[in-house]
Amino acid sequence: MSSEPTPDDLPARALAALADVQDPEMGESLGDLGVIGGIELDGSVLRVTLIPTSATCPMADVMLDDAEAALQKICPPGIRAEAVMDWDTAWSPERMAPELRERFGW
């Protein structure tokens, strides 16, 4: 049985939880796509920042909802999950996992 997360290990647990969340259009893990811009514990909020793969990402709301749901499952009582989109940072294929970049031919 897993132990209650501490503030120190919550970001690592969050990264693992996000590995199971797929981009709704590409069907690939958010981590493998390189869209996870940051994870931080800010008081009682576990916040993940996502970088969209395009400036007009039509599934951004779905991706945010899915990320929040995955994070909330690993949050201890009193901590809430929040996912935000960073529309100012440009995503590029270099952010992807090398295996995925190779499979996509980038």
pLDDT tops 90 at residue 7: no
102 found inside a domain = no
Q: What share of the chain in percent tops pLDDT 70?
A: 93
97 found inside a domain = no
> DSSP string spanning 19-77?
TT-B-TTT-SBHHHHT-EEEEEEETTEEEEEE--SSTT-TTHHHHHHHHHHHHHHHPPT
82 found inside a domain = yes
3 found inside a domain = no
- Averaged over 9-32, what is the pLDDT? 92
pLDDT tops 70 at residue 105: yes
Q: What share of the chain in percent tops pLDDT 90?
A: 72
Q: According to the model, what pLDDT value does residue 13 have?
A: 93
38 found inside a domain = yes
- Domain of 74 in residue numbering reads as 27-90
103 found inside a domain = no
17 found inside a domain = no
66 found inside a domain = yes
* Total domains present in the chain: 1
